[in-house]
A and B are shown apart, each in its own frame.
Chain A
């Protein structure tokens, strides 16, 4: 019996970077771990794993039936695991009609990664190969979901993301232990922030080992590997996954109206997590 540590985030918020770090930290190898062989996958919404663990085909079920079974899939996964495992997830922390969490699993915990929604919007638009307004609309849409097309089969199950703000709140208020880390702190104070992540997950936290894992998961390594070998998890709609990892890129990509709109839509959560100062100006 192992416990699941959810590696949870809204898309484009540093989840893959964190997985690369945790993989390098755990393996402690002599060279960077391959980006196509990272721990923490397949994602919680993987169709293949659902079929394996249930014994039936999700493709014969409605999304509602699938979501009734998903809690049991994670319970089963935890029962069969021999040690704790961390698992990438983009679903919001939601509940079924019976009040049971979709991501139920005894003893589970969550590392939740949050990023300035102004930068998320820019990165998300590139990821989807859509314009910024479309990405912003998705972030404000409480019904937004991945893999929700009912006319074809995706290799992932439907994932309800809710709005960006609701996604954050669903996780930070989840009835399980949750550690929130900001993407900006991962960038600005990497040693301290990633050490916190390592401790929360229960991985070694010696400074030299953390530093090496950080170096091996540096953006330049991730980007180089993608250029040389490709990245399986890249969206088809975009040229590269590891595009840009800066802070405040929204300042050159969003119009003032778009920035104001995002701030209006997500003000409370932005304030709560330090993304707006006392004058309601963006901090990053």
Chain B
């Protein structure tokens, strides 16, 4: 992807590159070739700086993060520290000698998820496809086949709206909208091969991993779409596929369970908003559970199943 020409920061001290993702305009001191270029006023600024080792008044914490109601700190000893504040700014302090793409991987992952939460969006762990003017969303843990399914459906002509972080905003009337994420899919080598692509032709997410970036180009839907259907992907050691429509609390449970980095949400108001958003989303769309045989990964049959469901 061609890099945009940089503009300059307010004090002219460093160049900023303008990108778009999640309906936001992002001004970044770091080149992000994964993202689409943009014009306009920045909603979010990404710059380098000094990041503290700890936050004050920590309300949530894990091995690599701390959060309070205003700020989120991600600490990766071998890559970088990221400070995300007020949904508007990300400061990166990188470890010397680390590759840009390693720094970007966690920036565009957990750090951005925290930023979206701070902005009041509902990030889900899943991928979204543009279907019949709306969005079909597939939720599930890492390894459940979300990205591979997105790639297979993309090959069948459906555009991808989001992969991995599937962020939901709400229209003034409360309709859940899937906002477009990054114009790429991340796939493991075996999934790339199942799709009939060659891993050698693709760039690695990190040099040390056999996980690859599949650029989407025209296969990316660069617009938000109403979330109409949600599928929870799970696997079992059975031999058959199952698709079960869910009702009531089961729908809500799926959305809560697959909230991207649920533990990052700090403070009672944020938790309350999250619960309400999941309820609103659950009421507004159909939710079903797909159980697929774990092995072998019968990707084409899985794609057939969902295509038939929304036909």
Contact = CB atoms under 8 A, between A and B. Distances in A.
A55 interface: yes
Contact of B65 (A55, A234, A235): A55
A51 interface: yes
A121 interface: no
A160 B264 CA distance: 31
A206 interface: no
A54 B237 CA distance: 28
Contact of A60 (B141, B143, B209, B236): B209
Interface in B173-210: 188-191, 205-206, 208-210
Contacts of A151: 188-190, 210
B76 interface: yes
A60 B109 contact: yes
Interface in B94-131: 105-106, 109-110
Contact of A69 (B63, B206, B264): B63
B211 A59 contact: yes
Given A152-B190, A232-B236, A62 B209 contact: yes
Contacts of A72: 63
A56 B64 contact: yes
B283 interface: no
B62 A76 contact: yes
Contacts of B295: 236
B141 A48 contact: yes
A65 B208 CA distance: 11
Contact of A59 (B143, B262, B263): B143
A33 interface: no
B109 A57 contact: yes
A36 to B, nearest CB: 10
A236 B141 contact: no
A60 B105 contact: yes
Interface residues of B, number: 35
Interface string B234-271: 00111000000000000000000000011110000000
Interface residues of A, number: 30
A252 to B, nearest CB: 28
Contacts, number: 83
B188 A56 contact: no
A118 interface: no
A53 B190 contact: no
Interface string A221-243: 00000000010101110000000
A60 B106 contact: yes
A112 B264 CA distance: 36
A47 B76 CA distance: 18
A55 B63 contact: yes
Interface string B118-151: 0000000000000000000000011100000000
A155 B141 contact: yes
Contacts of A76: 62-63
B74 interface: yes
B237 A230 contact: yes
Contact of A55 (B105, B110, B205, B238): B110
A20 interface: no
A52 interface: yes
Nearest to A150: B210
A31 B185 CA distance: 48
A69 B210 contact: no
A65 B105 CA distance: 15
B109 A53 contact: no
A146 to B, nearest CB: 14
Contacts of B105: 60
B196 to A, nearest CB: 16
Given A152-B188, A153-B142, A232-B236, A54 B62 contact: yes
B78 interface: yes
Interface string A28-61: 0000000000000000000110011111111110
Nearest to B297: A152
Q: Looking at A76, A152, A230, A234, which has the most chain B CB atoms within 10 Å of its CB?
A: A152
A152 B141 contact: no
Contacts of A69: 63-64
Contacts of A53: 62-63
Contacts of B109: 56-57, 60
A152 B191 contact: yes
Given A47-B142, A72-B63, A236-B293, 17 more contacts: A47-B143, A48-B142, A53-B63, A54-B64, A55-B74, A55-B263, A56-B74, A59-B211, A60-B105, A62-B206, A69-B63, A76-B63, A151-B210, A152-B188, A230-B237, A234-B237, A236-B295
13 contacts: A47-B143, A48-B142, A52-B263, A54-B64, A59-B211, A60-B105, A60-B109, A62-B206, A65-B78, A150-B209, A153-B143, A153-B188, A230-B237
Interface of A: 47-48, 51-60, 62, 65, 68-69, 72-73, 76, 150-155, 230, 232, 234-236
Q: What 6 A-B pairs are tightest by C-beta distance, nearest first?
A: A55-B65, A153-B143, A151-B189, A152-B190, A54-B63, A55-B62
